[in-house]
A and B are shown apart, each in its own frame.
Chain A
Amino acid sequence: MTKNMIEVRNVTMKFRMSDEPLNSLKEVFTTAVKGKLKFNEFLALDDVTFDLEKGKTLGLIGKNGAGKSTTLKLISGILKPTSGTIRTYGNIVPMLELGAGFDLELTGKENIYLNGAILGYSKEYLESKYDEIVDFAEIRDFIDMPIRNYSSGMMARLAFSIASVVQPEILIVDEILAVGDVAFQEKSFNRMKELMSGGATVLFVSHDLEKIEEMCDKVIWLDHGKVVMFGDTDEVCAEYKKAQGIKG
């Protein structure tokens, strides 16, 4: 039996949402005094359970607000579930938003080290991969320039290069395959495939069913926080299309 890399057991995630945004002490105080401090509970995930084996790629599909991103954030450790347990085995590289840790005042080089450190790379590792990152992003001429002068394409390329230089055991991807121009998109798509074929266990969110069908071994279909279906890609995608067709 192959080893499970991710185990999600009965995970429920509730968000407390107040009717009005209460962002200050005064507001909370005054509403509390008035007795109007109520929170609506929003169930983002409801009793979700699944496992993912080593080396498999799992696609998450569903409408906006179905709980896909929440699931990725929970597995990355960014959020803690309200109840239930999540176990992961191995280092996780989340590609939820690339370049989240960029500092515009710093140069490209400084940002490679900063962002690499944020993603958990060691200094030695970054030093050995530095040239690879710069070459892949095609920004060698601008590397000592503060990145506030970069174009958005350059920044996205740099971010992708840093995030994808590592060979992760668990890779979490949220719709980021389209960065840069057409040529770079192709390059990055190939890099993603390389990572996935390199034995990484992948979680993948996309609205692009074609990509899901191309890349994933298994698919989870989420709707309003509940697992509608979990199984092989063909089956789930067929059902999903059917449901969309009926509703649409």
Chain B
Amino acid sequence: MTRKNLKNVFIAIVAIYTALVVSFYFLGGDQIKYKPSDNNILMPEANTVTKEIISGSLITQDFENKIENIEQLAIVFTKFYREGNGSVTISLYDGKDLLITRKIKLKDIPEQSRVYLTPEEPLTGLQGKTLTLRISSTSGKNNGLAVMMREGVEGSTVRFNSKETVGTLCFSMSGFDENPFSKYYWYAVGTIGLILATVFYISYKKYLRGRANHIVAAIGAIYRYKFLISQLVIRDFKSKYKRSILGIFWSFLNPLLTMTVQFLVFSTFFKADTQNYPVYLLSGVVCFSFFNECTTMCLSSISGNARLITKVYIPKYIFPLARTISSSVNLAISLVPLTLACLVLGVAIKPQALLFFYFLACLVVFSLGIGLFLSALMVFFRDIQFLWTVLTQIWMYATPIFYPAEIIPEKYRFIVRFNPLYHFIGNARTCLISGVSPEPRAYIFCFLFAAISLLIGAYTFKKTQDKFALYL
């Protein structure tokens, strides 16, 4: 590695970082800038109804709004299953200013379900204000129209003409708030970029003065061993497909066949609940197969190369790393059938689908971490290879791959939230199938899962690697 190489590597990393954060800002779009408001008013459960609304009745309720951008208001009426004629007017006021109003015919009002008021543009600038919901009618008598309400909610009053009742009407209001994340996005990525550049600059200066430092050593190692790694990866591929007629074509076929089998088995159960089920399934299969293959191959990477490790000095992390890279190449190949499936099955591929690769990258790093850990463990406890087969089975069923995440009962959902694969695969699917970015939190979670896994794996590996040669 020369001085010029090092400089180029540093500049390339900073340039790639800049390109990524800028493109991320634009790809992320509104999902980065806004998030669903935490102050949405939820629909209360009704325990009574108001008096019948007749011509001249006026129902009002004041309430405090905390939503920054109001998108929708919903209110629930009952007609006691009568047809009814006339109409009702629902309005939302800010003091004396009318914000939004809707006049709806009684026959269009669904029985005990939501009537929506949706402004053309989200209502802004109302945060912290007291808004008034007004309902008036021209319905005459005996139409049986009333608003569902919940009596006895402290701090809230419903006025029917002039009579006041403690309680609240059954209405809900939802919107979105600006995400604080986006306000600080440029500061945050700018700071990280500056730190990165400073660290590189310092280590470059150190290198020029001939002092050792970790970053230069790591880049030097990559330079020195990249030929070896490429040879090991080529070896993996060649010996994997040697003597098979279809050869590398299996990397295309395998995920497609797995998907087909699972599709035939599970489609009747889950098809209805899921948008574009075959693509949902295939993306899950591709991701999980990668995880399974990568960790299983890493597991035996040290013990399988025992002869080499005890006879020649090579940094031992090269072996799990090379296996992870060959699995990643396999993953890249299996993205071809995935893309084809998207095109054939009518998933509109949007630019946001590029964000898919962020989660794939997290998955790869996560798998490398697990792989490092397992390969080290395998040297000392050979039982782990059998244990891991069972564990990956459990892991597969615990991850929504062939079933939608929604079928997990709400009270067990928290278990899934601790499953990193659920996050990687789930978010990757959101990008690919729905074409929108997940919320910013998802990026941070996935990054953390990957980083923690890599740290634990690398630490275990480093601590134990000197003993490998003794136990192999």
Residues of A in contact with B (beta carbons under 8 Å apart): 15-16, 23-26, 28, 73, 76-80, 92, 94, 96-97, 100-101, 103, 105-106, 110, 113-114, 117-123, 146
Contacts and interface: CB of A to CB of B under 8 A. Distances in A.
B419 interface: no
Contact of B312 (A96, A106, A122, A146): A96
B235 A106 contact: yes
A73 B242 CA distance: 34
A96 B311 contact: yes
B197 interface: no
B451 interface: no
Interface string B298-340: 0000000001111111100000000000000000000000000
Interface residues of B, number: 28
B227 A118 contact: no
B126 to A, nearest CB: 62
A203 to B, nearest CB: 14
A122 B227 contact: yes
B238 interface: yes
Interface in B208-229: 224, 227-228
Contact of B382 (A24, A101, A103): A24
Interface in B379-393: 381-384, 387
B47 interface: no
Given A77-B313, A94-B313, A106-B238, A100 B308 contact: yes
Contact of B383 (A24, A96, A105): A24
Contact of A78 (B238, B309, B382): B309
Interface in B343-386: 381-384
Nearest to A110: B238
A78 B239 contact: no
Contacts of A97: 307, 311
A113 B231 contact: yes
A118 B309 CA distance: 10
B394 interface: no
The 7 closest A-B pairs by CB, nearest first: A77-B313, A100-B311, A117-B231, A117-B228, A80-B466, A25-B381, A105-B239
B469 interface: yes
A24 B227 contact: no
Interface of B: 224, 227-228, 230-232, 234-235, 238-239, 242-243, 307-314, 381-384, 387, 466, 469-470
B466 A78 contact: no
A105 B238 contact: yes
Contacts of A94: 311-313
B312 A119 contact: yes
Contacts of A113: 231
A110 B228 CA distance: 12
B228 A106 contact: no
Contact of B381 (A28, A121, A146): A28
Contacts of B308: 100-101, 118
Contacts of B239: 103, 105-106
A78 B310 contact: yes
Given A105-B242, A106-B239, A110-B238, A76 B383 contact: no
12 contacts: A26-B383, A76-B313, A80-B466, A94-B312, A96-B311, A101-B308, A103-B239, A110-B238, A114-B231, A114-B235, A117-B231, A146-B242
A77 B387 CA distance: 32
A199 to B, nearest CB: 22
Given A24-B381, A92-B313, A106-B239, A78 B469 contact: yes
B312 A118 contact: yes
A100 B312 contact: yes
B227 A117 contact: yes
A79 B466 CA distance: 7
A110 B239 CA distance: 11
B375 to A, nearest CB: 16
A16 to B, nearest CB: 8
Contacts of A123: 227
A78 B228 contact: no
Contacts of B231: 113-114, 117-118
A156 to B, nearest CB: 14
A118 B314 contact: yes
Contacts of A121: 227
B227 A78 contact: no
A78 B313 contact: yes
